[in-house]
Structure formats: C-alpha cells, structure tokens
Amino acid sequence: MADRSHAHALAFLVLVVLMPQMASPGKLPRFTMGPRTNKQLRDFFKNHGSDMADLVPSGQGGHEQGGGSSSNGQSQQGGGDSGGGGGGGGDNQAPATNAGMYVFSYGIGTPPQQVSGALDISSDLVWTACGAALGGTAPFYPARSTTVADVPCTDDACQQFAPQTCGAGAGASECAYTYMYGGGSANTTGLLGTEAFTFGDTRIDGVVFGCGLKNVGDFSGVSGVIGLGRGNLSLVSQLQVDRFSYHFAPDDSVDTQSFILFGDDATPQTSHTLSTRLLASDANPSLYYVELAGIQVDGKDLAIPSGTFDLRKDGSGGVFLSITDLVTVLEEAAYKPLRQAVASKIGLPAVDGSALGLDLCYTGESLAKAKVPSMALVFAGGAVMELELGNYFYMDSTTGLACLTILPSSAGDGSLLGSLIQVGTHMMYDINGSKLVFESLAQAAAPPPSGSSQQSSSKTNQQAGGRLSASAPPPLISPAVFVIHFMLLVVYLFL
C-alpha cells in the first residue's frame, strides 16, 4: 500500500440556507437544503488537484477508519471554560480527505449551545471544539451545561474506541483520545463525554461525543465533525436509525432541492429505484463500500481487469463512498481504459491541466464543438447509475479549461466515489439490510419543507453526455451544506 502519511489542506466557499422540517419529540427532523452556491471550483482544483489521488485509506487493522478534514498546519487550542486537558489516550487513524464539507448546525448541552459540524459518512467520531478556539470556531463550553458528563476510562465505549490504561483517583473518570486524519497532521485530542444534543425541536440525551481540547488542522471554520460512519460511536449508530439518505442537487437545478433524511423519512421519491450491496471491511470498519462491477462509456463496457474493484481482506482495494471528497478516484487499472475511451470519443488533443491539477483537460472552446461521451457506473447485480455530464466533467470559465474530474490512484490502493459523481442522485443507505438504494431525481422534485405542497419537477438542462458550450457548461458545483436553524451561514476561507 502507498504511504498515507500526510493530510491535505483545503479551502472553499460554503454558502448555507436552512429549511428544516420539524419533527415530533423523539424523531429526527427532515432537512432540506438550498439554494446551492454558484462558486466555481477553480481555486479548489488549482490548490488541491495534485493531492486528489492520495485519498483512499490503507488497510490498518485495529483502527477506526474514516474521512475528515485535512490539515494546513493551523491549530485550535481549547481553553477558558473547557475544563481539564486530554492526552494519553488511545490513538485512532482516519484516511485523509481534501474536499468540500456539508455543514450541520445543532445544539449541545443544557441550555443548548449552538455549534456546527462537518458531515462525514466515512468516520465515526462526533466531536466539537471545547472552550476558546482560534479561527472564529464556535466552541462548546462544558462548564455552562448542566447535563455534561465524563465517559469513565473503564467504560466499554472508552476502551473500544481508545484503549488505554486507567489511572487511579480522578484520572480514572476521564477517557482521553486522539483522533487523527491522514497521517495525523490534522487531529483532535480531548476527552470523551456524554451530553444532550438538540436537532430542531428534538432533544437526544446521552450522546457520546469528543470534547476537543486541542484540534489541529483546517476544519473550515466549523466546530467539529459529525461522523456518520458504520462504527458504534457514529451519530447514525448512537441514534439507532436503520437508514439515512441524502441528495445533492445540481447547481443549475430549479425544482430539485438538496436534502438529508433520517430513519422513516429516508424513503424513495420515485418508483425508479435501483440497489446494490453495501460491503464492509474489518480493516476500514467505518467506510461504506459498494460492489462496483464496471464502467460504461457511451454504453460500452470498458475492458477493466477482473478483480480491479475487489475489496481485499487486508483492507486494500474496494470502492467506498465519500461526501468529503469532490473527485472520484479509480485504481489505475480502471482509470487508464476510462481515460483512453473518453479521449478517443472526444477526438481532440488534450491540453495541460496543471492549472487545475486535473489530468485529462481540453480547452472549453474546442470541446464545445465535440461530443462528450456518456458514462455510467455498473454495480454488482446489474444496477446501473447513469451519470450526467456535470458528474464527471468540469468547465472553468477563468482558465477556459474543461477537465475530467476522475483521477487515478496507485495499484491496490482502492477507489472512491466522490460527491460530484453523486450529485443529482438520491443515495439511500439501508443499514440493517446492508444495501445502497439509489434513484435519479432529475425528473422528480425533492421533498418540500413541512406544510408546503410537493413541487412539480422538470428535467435539468444537463444531459448525460453531449456537447459543452458557453451557454450550457457542466454545472459549476461547489459544496452544498445544510443546517437546522433559519440562518444564512457563509464560510469563505483561503489557504
């Protein structure tokens, strides 16, 4: 396996509008998101394109695996009302990611203090900065809450997540942890505790969370991370929901909305659903792996060697899903025939894409006269995910480049399906059934806010395959986000 010893920095525009659907007590709210931002991805690709192939995790048995923010060397140190210091606990490792975040705003403590967390389906720990923090991050102050409690060192939740030797006296009541992203240059160190979490009108008591006393890395101005992975401490596991789903609307969509749903609300919106198995790895237990069987370009199966997408027992290989990575990364054995097929169909000379850090690029002017081939992902069992042009091509108006947003990884390193390739598709995670159900919402409106009527739907202007033009380029998509309170949140960070 290649060395995953470094994390990556990131910067992007995040624009948030919140439209919650409140639920009765004891049930999580339904959330819708919108509108999307219209920020181009040029700065992101320019700064991080060369890092994008270094995203997939190596097989590391015995560690919590996940995705999260990447480091730029900045630090956030807890203080003030944060209480005692952490340290000395077990270390947990999560693979580096370097893409846009979806931000979740919620209340913690009694009375509730408003904090924010970056949603991550590939890690488990729910944590927030505690005490005074640098960079304007809204921290949680435990001393101001009447319901916060330590997770004892001897507690199963502590020993399973961060195995450690418990001391005597006061030290025995603390569970210290260090959770690292990438090679550890982005990390959070603190104490595990339990607290009341408030989502809209719904209060959930006794949620185990990390009180981050020292947080190193660029977490894009949010208070922490909300892990939705497959481990015991993820929010999904602690709330015991059997399924969740999300949909990221294309940037040019009018009638469809971006949303995330939990539990009974996470149901299909159309009658045209497809499904494939979710696989699990003992080496990377937090990740949601899918059984990708092949890729089609213009309806023709690519000649990808058998076993390229297989998930191996040591944690290598496989294909997992991520919403903290924009691009899709494929093992080189799959990327080479894909690149060759796309380039052959376009039939134009490629140009240097180093300005964006992407591999296969053309001038937008020349590509406007060509036909870009369609693309589809084929899963085990025959389910086919038809992609829109904006799922795999990006056109930058500043540089005039149009580039494929799929990159290669090293042999054996595995593959990931990033958030761009999922845009426009309602992704439903059936946890109990170990199944991913998906449907295109190009012809169906997303669920409306509570009390409003169902919106009529229309086909987006972006078709699968086709021509690029100045009037109809691939959507210039930037990270969508959602929150739970009626507010507009803007985070605009530069490295």
d(CA 487, CA 17): 6
420: left (phi over 0), alpha (psi -120 to 50) or beta: alpha
Spans of all domains in the chain: 1-495
Alpha-carbon distance values, 326 to 21, 29, 45, 58, 322 (Å): 27, 27, 10, 20, 8
| CATH superfamily membership of 1-495 | Acid Proteases (2.40.70.10)
Residue 145 identity (one-letter amino acid): S
Looking at residue 437, what is its pLDDT?
A: 98
CA distances (Å), 289 to each of 232, 312, 397, 422, in order? Answer: 17, 11, 35, 14
Asked if residues 330 and 415 have their Cβ atoms less than 8 Å apart, the reply is: yes
For residue 173, give the DSSP letter. Answer: G
Q: How far apart are CA 265 and CA 31, in angstroms?
A: 10
CA 237 to chain centre: 17
Torsion of CA 481, 487, 492, 493, to 10 degrees: -80
Neighbouring CB atoms inside 10 A of 453's CB total 6
- Residues 331 and 295: their CA atoms lie apart, in Å, by 12
* 6 three-class SS: coil
Best CA proximity match to 68, nearest among 261, 287, 315, 238: 287
Q: Give the pLDDT of residue 153.
A: 93
Return phi, psi of residue 33, to 5°: -125, 150
Dist CA 181 CA 386 (whole Å): 32
pLDDT confidence of residue 194: 98
Task: Give residue 44's Cα distance to chain centre.
Answer: 16
Q: What is the structure's pLDDT at 66?
A: 38
Concatenating the DSSP letter of every residue in 42-73 gives HHHHHHHGGGTTS-SPP--TTS------EEEE
Query: How far is the C-alpha of 87 from the C-alpha of 78, rounded, in Å?
Result: 13
**Residue 211 and residue 369: Cα distance in Å, rounded?**
55
Distance between CA 471 and CA 468 in Å, rounded?
8
- For 43, 85, 327, 421, 492, the CA distances from 35, given in Å and listed in that order, are 21, 41, 22, 19, 17
Q: Are 204 and 196 in contact (CB under 8 A)?
A: yes
With beta carbons less than 8 A apart as the criterion, state whether 404 and 421 touch. no
Sign of torsion over alpha carbons 403, 417, 223, 250 = positive
In angstroms, the CA 310 to CA 294 distance is 11
Nearest CA among 90, 109, 85, 7 for reference residue 48: 7
> How many Cα atoms are found within 13 Å in the side-chain-facing hemisphere of 256?
25
Adjacency order of strands within the sheet including 292-297: 300-301, 292-297, 375-379, 384-386
What single-letter amino acid sits at 268?
Answer: P
Residue 251 and residue 475: Cα distance in Å, rounded? 6
Cβ atoms < 10 Å from Cβ of 161: 25
Q: Give per-10-residue mean pLDDT for the chain (495 aa).
A: 30 30 41 36 51 44 37 35 46 50 84 90 92 67 96 93 81 85 77 94 94 82 89 94 90 77 92 97 94 98 97 92 89 97 97 90 91 97 95 89 91 86 96 97 52 33 47 35 29 31
User: How does DSSP assign 140-157, residue by residue?
Assistant: B-GGG-SS-EEPPTTSHH
Coil vs helix vs strand at 374 = coil
> What whole-number distance in Å separates Cα of residue 75 and Cα of residue 365?
43
pTM over 0.95: no
